[in-house]
Amino acid sequence: MRKIIGLLIVGLLVCGQAFAAPYLAITPVASDDSVNFLIRGTATIYTDSMKTYLLEPTDNVGLMYRAQGSTVNLKLDIEQSFAPPTTEGSTDQDYVTTDSVDSSITVADSWKVATIDTVVMPYMRFKVSGQGSNSATTTLEIKVSK
């Protein structure tokens, strides 16, 4: 009986570890496994692309984000494509906006959570757009988890 209970406990520990999903940081990586993007005024920022072809077509992706700055007015979109962009961090005609995560981020210092329901293309990235008079220190911090 002890052996059976021991095997069950070991099995649960091993399986529990196999399904744990660490946070994936978008380049560049900060010490707290997140990244901050500086968005001044009406600038548009594109993150580096991320490989998503290891995900199942029905997998959901978790997303945490928060803006910081004295004046905040941002929009956060998901773009997907069949290949990495020609130049990381810039516009690319092969990338299509598939999800609008938040069309009006106006509150600073407050974490928000969203789910990317379906990732259908092998690459994705975030597009952050300034929609107004963002202060010179306005940033958006993003954390992604599978």
Contact at 8 Å (CB) between 65 and 111? yes
Residue 32's pLDDT is what? 44
How distant, in Å, are the alpha carbons of 83, 90, 137 from that of 122? Answer: 7, 18, 33
Which tokens hold the place of 2? 């002890």
pLDDT of residue 2: 61
For 2, the enclosing helix (H) or strand (E) is helix 2-18
pLDDT, tens only, 7-59: 455 454 444 433 333 334 444 333 345 677 888 888 899 988 888 876 666 66
Convert the pLDDT of each residue in 83-134 to its tens digit. 999 999 999 999 999 889 999 999 888 899 998 876 778 888 999 999 988 8
Residue 133's pLDDT is 84
For 126, residues 6+ apart whose C-beta sits below 8 A from its C-beta are 26, 46, 47, 76, 77, 78, 79, 101, 142
Q: What is the DSSP letter of 139?
A: E
pLDDT digits (tens, 9 = 90+) for 64-85: 999 998 889 999 999 999 999 9
Residue 84, burial from CB neighbour count under 10 angstroms (0-12, 13-18, 19+):
middle
Question: In angstroms, rounded to a whole number, what is the distance separating the alpha carbons of residues 97 and 47?
Answer: 13
CATH number of 23-145: 2.60.120.680
Q: At 45, is the secondary structure helix, strand, or coil? A: strand
Cis amide linkage into residue 22, ω under 30° from 0: no
